[in-house]
Amino acid sequence: MAQHNLNTVIGFEFFRTVRKKRFWIATLAIPVALAIVFALVFISNQSTSTAAENQKNAHLSFTYTDESGLVTAALAATYGGRKAADGAQAIADVKAGTLDAYFAYPPDPATQPVRIYAADKGIFGNGTYNAVATQVLAAAAQHKIDSPQLTALTQGNVTINALTYKDGQVSGGISAVIPPMLFLLIFYVSIILLANQMLSSTLEEKENRVTEMILTTLNPTTLIIGKVISLLMVALVQMLTFALPVVIGYLFFRSNLNLPDLDLSHLILEPGPMIVGVLLLLGGFILFTGTLVAIGAVVPTVKEAGAFFAPLMILIFIPFYIVSLIVSDPHALIVQVFTYFPFSAPVTAMLRNSFGSLSTVESAIVIAELFILGFIALRLAVHLFRYGSIEYSKKLSITSTFRRRNHA
C-alpha cells in the first residue's frame, strides 16, 4: 500500500506539472532561444565565410609597388594586380576613380605597414583591400619558403601529445578533470531547475488548505519522498529538452556552428574521483532538497520563503569567487572553510575532487557530513510538515513542534 501511494503521489505530482502549458512555455523557452542563437550563428557563419572567401579571392584592379622584393609580378597577376611604375601616379589614378586600389609594400612588411590607397566601398567592402593585400603577401612568403611542411609549421598546425606525471603515475590532465566536473554541472542544473519547486512543493498544501486532508490520508514521508522523486523526473524532462537542440546541433551542424570537435575517447574516467563525484552530488542534492522542503514547511507563503532561499543560492555560487584559490591553494583557510561548511561543501568539494586536490580523508568527511545532514534535513522537513504545516497562515515556531511532540 505504501508503494502504491508513493507511485500515486509521484504520478499525480509529475503529470500535473508536465501537463501545464506554463511548464512547457518555460521549458521550451531555453531550447527555442538556443535554436534561434544557433540559427543566427549558422546564418552569420555562412555569410561571413562567404564574404571572407569572396574577399580572399577577389580580383581587383590594382597596382602595387614592392620595396621588399617578395611579391613577384606573376603572383600579383593571379590576384588581378600589376606593378605600378609610379606610386604617385597610382594614387592619382585611385583618386580619379580609374583604378580600384594601389598597394605600397614597404621594405620590411613584418615591421612596417603596408599602405593601401583605394576607392571607398563602404566599411565592409573596404575589407576586401586588406584581405587581398594580405593574401598576396602571404602567398609570396609561402612561395619563398617553397615547402608545404615548413609552411604548415609556420602556421602553427602542430599536433602535440603531452604526458605529465603525478606521484610517479601518468596524470590524466584536463581529460581527467572533465568527467568528475560533470557532476558539478548536474548539481547546478538540478538545483537551479528544482529549487523553487522544492520550496513551493509543501507550500502548496498549506496555501490550498489541503494539509489536513493529506495528513489524514497519507503518511507525510510518503508525500515528501513522492514529491522529491517527481521533481527529479520533471528536472530530467527539462534537461533532456534543453539538451536536445545542443545534441542535434552538435551531430548535424557542428561545422556550420563552429562547435569544437570533442573527442570523447580522450576523456579519462578515474574510478576514485568518479565515485566521490557521484556521492558528493547525491549528498549535496539530499541536503539542499531536505533544507528547501523544510523551509517550505515553516513559512506560510512563497514570498516569505524568498528570505531563506536567496542565502542558500548564494552559498552554492560563492565558491566560484575563489575558484582560482581552490585550484591553486586547496589548503588555504577559506577553501577549507568552504569545503566543510555544509551548504558550500558540495560545490567546493566537487571542484577540488575534479582537480584532484581532495584527499580520501577529506572526501569521506564531506560525504558523511552531507549525507548525515541531508537525512536530518529531510526528517526535519517531514516533521515540520506533519506538525507545522497546519499553521496555515503563520510562520511556524520550530521549537513549538518539538515541544508538542514531547508532551505526547
Partner 1 sequence: MLGEPLVQIKGFRMDFGNLTVIRDLSFDVHAGETFGFLGSNGSGKTTTLRALLGIYQPTAGTLHIRGKVFEPRDGARLGYLPEERGLYKKESVLDVMVYFGRLKGLSRADATTWSRTYLDRVSLADKASTRLDKLSGGQQQKVQLGVTIMNDPELLILDEPTQGFDPVNRRLLMDIIEDQKRAGATVIMVTHQMEEVERLCDRVILLKDGAAEAYGTVEDVQDLYGGTTIRVEHTGPLPASDLYDITLAEHNYAEIAPRAGTDEADILRELVGRGVGLRSFTTARTSLEEIFLRVYGDQNEPAGA
Between residues 35 and 215, which has the closer beta carbon with respect to partner 1? 215
Q: Which three cell numbers mark 73?
A: 609580378
Taking the complex as a whole, how short is the minimal distance between the CB of residue 213 and partner 1, in angstroms?
A: 7
Taking the complex as a whole, how short is the minimal distance between the CB of residue 170 and partner 1, in angstroms?
A: 55
Q: Which three cell numbers mark 258?
A: 563552429
Between residues 93 and 205, which has the closer beta carbon with respect to partner 1? 205
Between residues 78 and 217, which has the closer beta carbon with respect to partner 1? 217
Cβ–Cβ < 8 Å for 124, 89: no
Taking the complex as a whole, how short is the minimal distance between the CB of residue 254 and partner 1, in angstroms?
A: 42
Taking the complex as a whole, how short is the minimal distance between the CB of residue 367 and partner 1, in angstroms?
A: 33
Between residues 16 and 95, which has the closer beta carbon with respect to partner 1? 16
Between residues 63 and 230, which has the closer beta carbon with respect to partner 1? 230
Q: Which three cell numbers mark 295?
A: 523551509
Taking the complex as a whole, how short is the minimal distance between the CB of residue 210 and partner 1, in angstroms?
A: 5
Between residues 217 and 336, which has the closer beta carbon with respect to partner 1? 217
Taking the complex as a whole, how short is the minimal distance between the CB of residue 219 and partner 1, in angstroms?
A: 5
Between residues 210 and 364, which has the closer beta carbon with respect to partner 1? 210
Residue ranges in contact with partner 1 by CB under 8 A? 1-2, 4-5, 8-9, 12, 16, 204, 208-210, 212-213, 215-220, 222, 386-387, 390, 392, 400, 404-405, 407-408
Between residues 96 and 408, which has the closer beta carbon with respect to partner 1? 408
Cβ–Cβ < 8 Å for 103, 115: yes
Output the CA torsion sign for 160, 164, 170, 175: negative
Look at phi and psi of residue 263 and say left if phi exceeds 0, alpha if psi is from -120 to 50, else beta.
Answer: beta
Between residues 297 and 345, which has the closer beta carbon with respect to partner 1? 297
Taking the complex as a whole, how short is the minimal distance between the CB of residue 122 and partner 1, in angstroms?
A: 57
Taking the complex as a whole, how short is the minimal distance between the CB of residue 286 and partner 1, in angstroms?
A: 24
Cβ–Cβ < 8 Å for 94, 72: no
Taking the complex as a whole, how short is the minimal distance between the CB of residue 326 and partner 1, in angstroms?
A: 43
Cβ–Cβ < 8 Å for 187, 281: yes
Between residues 211 and 348, which has the closer beta carbon with respect to partner 1? 211
Least Cα distance to 308 among 377, 251, 406, 361 occurs for 377
Taking the complex as a whole, how short is the minimal distance between the CB of residue 306 and partner 1, in angstroms?
A: 21
Taking the complex as a whole, how short is the minimal distance between the CB of residue 266 and partner 1, in angstroms?
A: 49
**Residue whose C-alpha cell is 585611385:** 94
Between residues 132 and 214, which has the closer beta carbon with respect to partner 1? 214
